[in-house]
Structure 1
């Protein structure tokens, strides 16, 4: 074993974690109902794909906008209460839809509910990341994140299938009602648990106990508060390197799902059913990677786990473009998503371990904002390249670039087995 990561009592004996884990899994499964039901409502009433796209775009924009200040809310308010209120607000918002629809379709209501719910959901997600560290022992953070990620991925696969059954049997509004109820379950789960106090060890201090002068510096204005997370990322060598390299990784890979679908439909001539089956198998890779990240990091250490996952992901991207059959494409996609899960969960866990508690919300917001900043442009370039030059050429180029990212990481502080224990991380 390369470090302290993984020592401590088993998570299944931790009542707080088990309650939180179960309630959040049900919440994710319920939330996936809206992913199916809302587009169905729009199509049933208007028959317009354009309106569906406009609604999705507005909801995404609201989520991104909320991410700018979500970290400040998570750092300045009681996090447990914030999680509960976010869940209750989303329960109320989605609950309005089936009630209103009982008196006739109201498309305008979706343009209010969905962006508001997505914005609140972003606040919830940022706060969710900040509380995991106070929910389990420090040595179990990676394992806890892995289990939460695995069940979220599994729920994301099964939820839409069940949502389709419910929507077909009782209508899309019934599926939205299930989604609303799931947020009530999530709120109840948070009510039933208690979060521990943040650790003051290794540079992680209690909320409100920042080093002398730090709070005064952050209190100079709201913009300085929101930028505090970005400043922290830049000042920490490991987090700085991770932020930069992961931003390039997202640029190279965010459009891969579209390229995968294009490859299956255009190059291999497969029906829609085959596309769905491949994406389902790929989702199982996410589940596997989430379950493996804890043991892998315990055995190999952070650096080898992260660098190795990025390198294997690059090879999988190359394999994706050169695969000539559906089973090979599915296998390559599953390996890729499994490696992305290992790298992503290890990275998130490290941020939770080394970031001062009073900054964790803003650091999370800053990381996600920077992390995805190059993604849309990269997706456009990748898909354009696939159509112009072919999937094989684009995947070869993207895969080799991922291997270069892994090589570059070897020459940064990322390579350390236990950066959470060294001055380089914090």
Structure 2
């Protein structure tokens, strides 16, 4: 048996591993976004050590110095969490910076342009920064290589980052713009401008409805959740495109996954359903199918809670249920289950019937059949392979039990019901 020190060390190691995996995912996202936007993107650690995707453009020395001060200088430590900062410097170059939650560093994009820069504008930029006009040609070549990115597009990038990696919908001021004077940059601090007040009654109602929806999902209450499924996931009206639909489905999948973690559903089941929908969302080809999937996803998450929630069971029964569902393809006997969770067979049998309302044998058979239905619908496994996956070595016996539950053989179910 582990002592407190060993347990504490193990927990600390698990937390560190989780943290490292989380940061690795954000770094990967940074590189992916950099490629998509054709702009330099960075993950910057709390110690201001940058790592990211660099666009290979030869920068003028003066611009390089500016970038280093904005993105990698102590200036970042003065910004607040949950606010997207749009920084505009004296070269009319733009950057977007977000301080990540839990002291996990920063996510930054830049430099980039928000509109085309004319030769006349460049002349003024050089003059403002006390740079010789002889360098106009070099600066012009540099600006021609920079990508033009809209703030709307950037908001999507940052919103997806928060929704996916911090499991929450973005409730922040979309853009807080700051103008940095290059000549004063080294001695300056980054100060926010006045925030636009967004907490109107409409927005409050939206978030209240969203919280209510997620509570119903966590309870597995499909009827009540269905009445709220059409609340908007963003206040601003976005184009009704397939990509936008996919983005919102990804957000909903993340929020539903997070909601049912409170319901005592085993993390393996949650991860399986969540990953399944990520694949389905990726393969969507029409807006109509995306609209339908929204409801299918709600149904599946609510049903998962109703089927696999163990929140009201004792720790022993929770362990037994999780062991059964993770080993449906094995020979599940009362002795094997009770031995695994270190209780007597008689005690487990009595307690299981008392709390679950059915015997262990009935529970195992029911869950095996439900798993078989899943494989028939979602996989290309043969009937024989499915029988083995759900713990039946005898194909004929499997078909007989299946027909007793559903009125048809597995083959007929796949041919007539699924297709």
Is the pair's TM-score, using the shorter chain for normalization, greater than 0.5? no
More helix by share: 1
Larger radius of gyration: 2
Greater relative CO, 1 or 2 (CA 8 Å, sep 6+): 1
Normalised to the residue count of structure 2, the TM-score between the two structures is 0.27
